[in-house]
Structure 1
Amino acid sequence: MTEPAALSPASFISGNTPDAPRSDIPGLLEALAADLQSLDYTVDGVARLLGESASEALNRDQLIPALIATGSAAGGENATALLAAVVRLFLLAQTQQPATLDAAFPTLRTEGLVTLGLVQHADDGVSAMVDLRPYSWEGGAEVSAGDDAVDTSTVELWVASDLAAHQRPGVLRHDHVLGIGQASTTLVQATIRRPVSRALDLGTGCGIQTFHLLQHATHVTATDISERALAFTRFNLLLNAASLHLDPSNPEARVTLRLGSLLEPVAEEAFDLVVSNPPFVITPRSLDLSAPNQFTYRDGGLPGDEIVSSLIRGLPTILAPGGTVQMLGNWEISAGTSWEERPQSWVSPDTDVWIIQREQLGPDLYAETWLRDASESRDHGRYQEAYAAYLQDFASRDVSGIGFGMVWLRRPAGAGGRVIERFEEITYPIEQPVGPHLGAAVERSDWLVANDLATAHLVVADDVTEERHQRPGAEHPGVILLRQGAGLRRTNLLSTELAGFVSACDGDLSVGQIIGALIALLGGENGFDAATFRSALLTEVGNLVRDGFLLPA
C-alpha cells in the first residue's frame, strides 16, 4: 500500500478525517475509479440491471423492488452478478462477502475499500459505511469558462455520502452528510449556467453544486460548517478528478475548501456566482439545539427563518458587480399576510431580486415532513415531543404557513439601480432544467430596460399557443388564453385588443406601428383615449416580452 500523499500545503481539510472516506491515497482512488468503470457502475448500467420499475422505486427511496431485481442476478462471478453485488452493497446496504467484492474490485480489493473507509468488516461479511452511487448529467461543460461553445457530452461521476434513513436503522447522526436529494437537484436545475471566474458553493454538503460549477467556473470555493461534509466533498472531487478536469496533485488550482459558518469563511471576497442549498429548516427553539444536537445538513441554528433572511441580506455584499446568487429557502408566513411580505423586507432596494414560491405547508405538515426526514419518528417519545414543539414554536409567532422556493439575487453592474423585482408563486409542474429559461427571462428584462419597446419588432415564441373559449352561439370568444409549452409554462389571459396585437407580431411591423393600427381601428368608439390605450398596451406587451410569450425579432 502506498503512503498517503500530501496534495497541497494550502489544503487544510485532512484527507483522513474520522468517519469519512479517505482521499489522501491517490493510488487507491485511481484503482476504485477504474474498477467502478469496469463494472459499468453508471447511471445507465444500474438502470439496465434493475429495470424501469425498480429504478423508479429506488429513486423514491423504496428498496424492495431493487432487492428483488438484484437478488435474481446475484451469485457467481459474471459481470451482471458482480454489478448486482455492488448495487446491493452501496445502494441497498446489504452485507456482501469479501470474495465477491474481491472479484468485483480486482484492482482495489476488499481491503482497499476498507482502507478508504467505504466498507467495514462485519460478523456476516462486509457492510457499507457510505452510500456510493453513480451520478450523471448531459452537457458536460454546460458552458466553459472563457469559451461559449456548448458541450453536449455526458459527465459520469460517483458520489459518496452518508447512508440515508431508508438504508440504516435509527435516527440519523447529527453530522449526517446528505446525498443527492430533491432539494439539491432542484438547485442544480434552477441555476443559470454562464461562464464565470469565481463561484461560491455555500454549504457544499457532499459537493453536488461544486461538481456542476466546475463545468463553467474557473475557480470554485466550497464551504461548510461540517468538517465531515468537506471531507466527503474532497473525496468525491478527487475520485472524479478526470471527469471534473481537476489535477489531483493540485486540486486547489480550481477548488478551495473552507470550514466555517455562513459568510465567515469568505468575508471581504467577491464572487461572480453564489449557489447555496443552506440549512434552511425552521426548527423549534424550545428543543435542545446546541451544536451537538443539530442536524448540521438542515438546521441553521438561528430562530425561525433567520438563516434565510441573513443570507438574502448578506450574500449581495460578497458579489462582484453583475454577480448573482441562486439559493433555496423557507420563509414564515404570518396569519393574515401575503407570502412575499417577509422575503420582500429582506432585500436591499439596490439589489435585483426574483423569488418564486414553489410550495406552502401548514405548521403540522411542515413538522411531519422534517421529523420524517431525519427518521425521528422511529423514536416515539422524541417524535411526540418534537412535533408538539414545532406547533408551539410556530404558534408563538402567529405563523400560519411556511413557504419554500427559489431565490435569485443580483448586484447591478452599473449605477442605474434595481432592474428586476419579482415575487411570484408557481406551484404547478415546470420544465426542467429551468435554469436556461430563468436566464433567458433575466436577459429579456435587461433588454426591456435598454431598448425602446415601441420601435422593436416582435415575434411569438415557438412554444406559445392560443386558446379561445366561447359559449355556444356566442359571436365572440369570452376567454382568450396564451399558453407556454416550455420553461415556466405560464398562462396569460388576453383582452381582445392584446390578442389582436399578438396575432400581428410576425416581425414585419414595429410595436408602435401595430398599436397605431389598433388605435385607428378603435378610434371611432365613444370615450376612446388613444394616449391611455397606447400606454396600457405598451405595458401589457412589455409583460409578454418579459415572460417570454413575445420575443425580439
Structure 2
Amino acid sequence: MPKSPYEFTAGNTPDAPRSDLPGLLAALAADLRRIDYTLDGVARLLGPTASAALNRDQVIPAMLATAQAVQRTAAAAPLAAVVRLWLLAEPQERETLDAALPGIGVEGLLELGLVQPVPGTPRITAKADLRPYGWDANPDGSGGAELWVASDLAAHQQAGVLRHDHVLGIGQASTTLVQTTVRQHTERALDLGTGCGIQAFHLLHHCQHVTATDISERALAYARFNILLNAEALSVDPDRLEDRVSLRLGSLLEPVAGEEFSLVVSNPPFVITPRSAGEDAAGQFTYRDGGLPGDEIVASLVADLPGVLAPGGVAQLLGNWEVPAGASWDERPRSWVRAGTDAWFIQREQVSPEQYAETWLQDASESRDRAHYRDAYAAYLADFGSRNVAGIGFGMVWLRRPAAAGQETISRFEEITYPIEQPIGPHLGAAVERSDWLAAHDLAGTHLLVADDVTEERHQRPGAEHPGVILLRQGAGLRRTNLMSTELAGFVSACDGDLAAGQIAAALEALLGGEAGSFQRSLLADVANLVRDGFLIPAAFPAEQ
C-alpha cells in the first residue's frame, strides 16, 4: 500500500514519550512485567477500598496502602514505588527507582521522556502517566491482554488547568466505546481520533490492519509509543509497524479520503464548547473540542462516515447532541443520517445546559480560577441560549453501509438510561443480526423460542380474575421491559419451538375471536418486535457469543 501524505512516523515528538528507542522500550516492558505492574498486581497491592478510591481520582488511600504494604514486606517496595511515581504522581528518590526498575533505570526513563528531575532535589517525578490496562480472555482462553498505557498527567495528578493539547488517558468515554464495539474479524479498520490509542489496541486483536488518525501530533506520538511498548501483546513487529498500523496526522476524514474500511470506531472530540471571535486551535482542548459550533462535529461524522465504509461496513461512535426546547431528543440526530444508511442511536443520558457546563469546566480543572470559571460558565449558557437548547444528550451511534444498494434500511432511535449489561457490543451485534434475519425470512413459518434470560411478571388487583399488567423482562443485554397485551402474552407462552408463529397466531385468533386476517397481521408485527429485541429467538438462530 503506498504511503499516505498524512503518514505520521516521528518517534521523537517534543513533550511526548520517545518511541524511537526500541532497546529502552523492551527494557521498560521487562521491568514492569517483573514487578507485576498489572491491573491485578496493583489491585492486590492497594486492596479493594484504596483501589476504588483511586478509580475516583482520590490518591490518599492509595498513598497509605502502599506505605502499609512496604511495612508488611520489603518485597512490595518496587511495585509500591512505581505506583506512587505514575499513578499517584508522587516524586520518588532516584535510587529507589533504580532499584525498582534496574533494567532501564532512571537514566533510561529520562531519555524516554516519562520522568523528569525535581529541581534542587535527588527526587524524580512523573512527566507522563503510565498505567496498566487490559482485558480478560474469552472463555476459550483467547483474546486477553495485559498492557501499559502512557498519557498526559490527569487533573488530579498536577496543579493548574490542563494544557490545551492534553492527551487523555483511559477515561469513561473510551471504555464505553470499547464495550460498545461489535467485535468481528476484519481486514481494515479505522480508529478516528485515536488519542493515546485505546481503541486501536482492541482493534489490533481482531483486525488485520488498523489506521489510526488524530489532529494532534502529541496524541499520535503517545499512540505510537504505546503500540511499540506493547508490541508483543498486540502482535506487532516493531521493525515492521506499518504492516499492521498506519498512523495519520490530520482532521476528521481528510487523512483517509478515498479509502474504505470494514469497521470504523471513533471517540471524537464531541464536547459542545462555546465559540469566540478570533479563537484558534491553540485555545481549544483538542482531546474533546472539535472546533465546530454546537454539535456539528458529530453531525458531520454521522453524515460523512458512510463514505469511507466498504459495502456492509460498520461505524460506531459516541456523541453529544443538542435538544432544542420543545423538540424530541432524536429530532436533530435523525436529520443527520443520509438516505440509504442503516442507523441506530441510543441516548444514554440527557443533562441541562448548567450540568453540562459544570461537567466540562471541572474536567479540565477550569474551576480552579474563580474568575475564569464564572466567565466560562456564563459563556456556555449564552452559547446554548443562542440556539434555544434545553438539554444535551449523550449516547451511542451505530451506522452501516448496506451491502447492496436498495436494501431496506434500519432506523432506530431509542432512549435507554438505566444500567445495561457490559460489554454491550455482542448484544448489539446480535440485535442487528436478528433485524437482518427478519428482513430475509418469513416470520409466520418460523418456530420461535423464549430467550433464556427472559422472565414474565404479572400484576393484578386483589381478587381480580385476570392480571391488569403483564410485563416481559430481559435479564441480559439491553435489559428491556415490554408491556404485553393478553394475546401477545398468550403467544409468548406457546413459543416452545413446536408450532410455527403463524400457527400460534391462527390458534389465538380462533380462541379470542379476533378479526380475520388483521388480528394475525397485528399480532405478528408485535412478535417481530420481540424477535428484533431478543425476547424471542428463531429456533435455528445462532446464540449470542
Q: 2:364 aligns with which of 364, 371, 374?
A: 374
Deviation at 1:533, TM superposition (A): 0.7
- For residues 288 and 465 of structure 2, the distance between their equivalents in structure 1, rounded to whole angstroms, comes to 58
Query: Which string of whole-angstrom CA distances, capped at 9 and with x for unpartnered residues, describes residues 443-477 of structure 1?
Result: 00000000000000000000000000001000000
Partner of 2:89: 93
Q: 2:134 aligns with which of 136, 140, 147?
A: 136
- For residues 84 and 91 of structure 2, the distance between their equivalents in structure 1, rounded to whole angstroms, comes to 8
- For residues 85 and 51 of structure 2, the distance between their equivalents in structure 1, rounded to whole angstroms, comes to 16
Partner of 2:542: none
Partner of 1:313: 303
Partner of 1:264: 254
Partner of 1:32: 28
Please state whether the residue corresponding to 2:92 is helix, strand or coil. coil
Please state whether the residue corresponding to 2:517 is helix, strand or coil. helix
Query: Does the aligned pair in 2 maintain the 1:326–1:407 contact within 8 Å?
Result: yes
Deviation at 1:287, TM superposition (A): 6.9
Query: Which string of whole-angstrom CA distances, capped at 9 and with x for unpartnered residues, describes residues 215-251 of structure 1?
Result: 1111000000000000000000000000000001011
- For residues 208 and 437 of structure 2, the distance between their equivalents in structure 1, rounded to whole angstroms, comes to 27
Please state whether the residue corresponding to 1:323 is helix, strand or coil. strand
227-236 vs 512-521, which moves further: 512-521
506-515 vs 280-289, which moves further: 280-289
Q: Give the residue type in structure 2 aligned to 1:178.
A: L
Please state whether the residue corresponding to 1:300 is helix, strand or coil. coil
Please state whether the residue corresponding to 2:455 is helix, strand or coil. strand
Partner of 2:400: 410
Partner of 2:115: 119
Q: Give the residue type in structure 1 aligned to 2:12.
A: N
- For residues 75 and 115 of structure 1, the distance between their equivalents in structure 2, rounded to whole angstroms, comes to 32
Please state whether the residue corresponding to 2:225 is helix, strand or coil. helix
Q: 2:58 aligns with which of 45, 59, 62?
A: 62
Query: Does the aligned pair in 2 maintain the 1:74–1:85 contact within 8 Å?
Result: no
Q: Give the residue type in structure 1 aligned to 2:530.
A: L
Q: 1:435 aligns with which of 425, 440, 444?
A: 425
Cα distance change of structure 1 residues 200 and 102 upon mapping to structure 2, 3 Å threshold: same
Cα distance change of structure 1 residues 288 and 101 upon mapping to structure 2, 3 Å threshold: farther
Matched, 1:548 2:534: yes
Q: 1:469 aligns with which of 459, 464, 469?
A: 459
Query: Does the aligned pair in 2 maintain the 1:237–1:244 contact within 8 Å?
Result: yes
Partner of 2:409: 419
Query: Does the aligned pair in 1 maintain the 2:187–2:208 contact within 8 Å?
Result: yes
- For residues 112 and 49 of structure 1, the distance between their equivalents in structure 2, rounded to whole angstroms, comes to 25
Query: Which string of whole-angstrom CA distances, capped at 9 and with x for unpartnered residues, describes residues 105-133 of structure 1?
Result: 11101100100000011133000001100
Q: 2:240 aligns with which of 223, 244, 250?
A: 250
1:321-470 equivalences under 5 Å are 321-470=311-460
Structure 1 unpaired stretches of 5+: 1-8, 143-149
Please state whether the residue corresponding to 2:448 is helix, strand or coil. strand
Please state whether the residue corresponding to 1:537 is helix, strand or coil. helix
- For residues 12 and 489 of structure 1, the distance between their equivalents in structure 2, rounded to whole angstroms, comes to 43
- For residues 288 and 359 of structure 1, the distance between their equivalents in structure 2, rounded to whole angstroms, comes to 33
Partner of 2:184: 194
Partner of 2:543: none
- For residues 9 and 278 of structure 2, the distance between their equivalents in structure 1, rounded to whole angstroms, comes to 29
Query: Does the aligned pair in 2 maintain the 1:20–1:228 contact within 8 Å?
Result: yes
Partner of 2:79: 83
Identity of aligned residues (%): 71
- For residues 164 and 22 of structure 1, the distance between their equivalents in structure 2, rounded to whole angstroms, comes to 20
Q: 2:525 aligns with which of 533, 539, 546?
A: 539
Matched, 1:280 2:270: yes
Query: Does the aligned pair in 1 maintain the 2:6–2:255 contact within 8 Å?
Result: no
- For residues 419 and 270 of structure 1, the distance between their equivalents in structure 2, rounded to whole angstroms, comes to 20
Query: Which string of whole-angstrom CA distances, capped at 9 and with x for unpartnered residues, describes residues 51-76 of structure 1?
Result: 00111111111111111111223479
Deviation at 1:535, TM superposition (A): 0.8
Cα distance change of structure 1 residues 477 and 288 upon mapping to structure 2, 3 Å threshold: farther
Cα distance change of structure 1 residues 272 and 151 upon mapping to structure 2, 3 Å threshold: farther
Q: Give the residue type in structure 2 aligned to 1:541.
A: V
Q: Give the residue type in structure 1 aligned to 2:418.
A: Y
> How many residues matched?
534
For the aligned residues, what is the CA RMSD? 1.6
Query: Does the aligned pair in 1 maintain the 2:8–2:220 contact within 8 Å?
Result: no
Deviation at 1:13, TM superposition (A): 2.6
Structure 2 unpaired stretches of 5+: 540-545
Deviation at 1:151, TM superposition (A): 4.8
Query: Which string of whole-angstrom CA distances, capped at 9 and with x for unpartnered residues, describes residues 259-306 of structure 1?
Result: 000010000100000000000010011376411110000010001100
Q: Give the residue type in structure 1 aligned to 2:160.
A: G
Q: 1:302 aligns with which of 285, 292, 295?
A: 292
Please state whether the residue corresponding to 1:286 is helix, strand or coil. coil
Q: Give the residue type in structure 2 aligned to 1:551.
A: I
Q: 2:500 aligns with which of 507, 510, 526?
A: 510
Deviation at 1:520, TM superposition (A): 1.5
Q: Give the residue type in structure 1 aligned to 2:516.
A: A
- For residues 390 and 194 of structure 2, the distance between their equivalents in structure 1, rounded to whole angstroms, comes to 31
Query: Which string of whole-angstrom CA distances, capped at 9 and with x for unpartnered residues, describes residues 163-217 of structure 1?
Result: 0001100000000000000000000000000011110000000000000000111
Query: Does the aligned pair in 2 maintain the 1:419–1:445 contact within 8 Å?
Result: no
Please state whether the residue corresponding to 1:309 is helix, strand or coil. helix
Partner of 1:231: 221
Query: Does the aligned pair in 1 maintain the 2:509–2:515 contact within 8 Å?
Result: no
- For residues 115 and 274 of structure 1, the distance between their equivalents in structure 2, rounded to whole angstroms, comes to 35
Partner of 2:193: 203
Matched, 1:49 2:39: no
TM-score by length of 1: 0.95
Please state whether the residue corresponding to 2:345 is helix, strand or coil. strand
122-131 vs 491-500, which moves further: 122-131
- For residues 506 and 408 of structure 2, the distance between their equivalents in structure 1, rounded to whole angstroms, comes to 31
Deviation at 1:79, TM superposition (A): 2.8
- For residues 544 and 30 of structure 1, the distance between their equivalents in structure 2, rounded to whole angstroms, comes to 52
Query: Which string of whole-angstrom CA distances, capped at 9 and with x for unpartnered residues, describes residues 49-105 of structure 1?
Result: 000011111111111111111122347993311101100000000000010001111
- For residues 292 and 333 of structure 1, the distance between their equivalents in structure 2, rounded to whole angstroms, comes to 29
Query: Does the aligned pair in 1 maintain the 2:7–2:249 contact within 8 Å?
Result: no
Query: Does the aligned pair in 2 maintain the 1:39–1:79 contact within 8 Å?
Result: no
Deviation at 1:418, TM superposition (A): 3.7
Q: Give the residue type in structure 1 aligned to 2:313.
A: G
Please state whether the residue corresponding to 1:250 is helix, strand or coil. helix
Please state whether the residue corresponding to 2:162 is helix, strand or coil. coil
Q: Give the residue type in structure 2 aligned to 1:120.
A: Q
Q: Give the residue type in structure 2 aligned to 1:210.
A: A
Matched, 1:14 2:14: no
- For residues 70 and 479 of structure 1, the distance between their equivalents in structure 2, rounded to whole angstroms, comes to 55
- For residues 158 and 397 of structure 2, the distance between their equivalents in structure 1, rounded to whole angstroms, comes to 33
- For residues 51 and 253 of structure 1, the distance between their equivalents in structure 2, rounded to whole angstroms, comes to 41
Q: Give the residue type in structure 1 aligned to 2:130.
A: L
- For residues 342 and 64 of structure 1, the distance between their equivalents in structure 2, rounded to whole angstroms, comes to 44
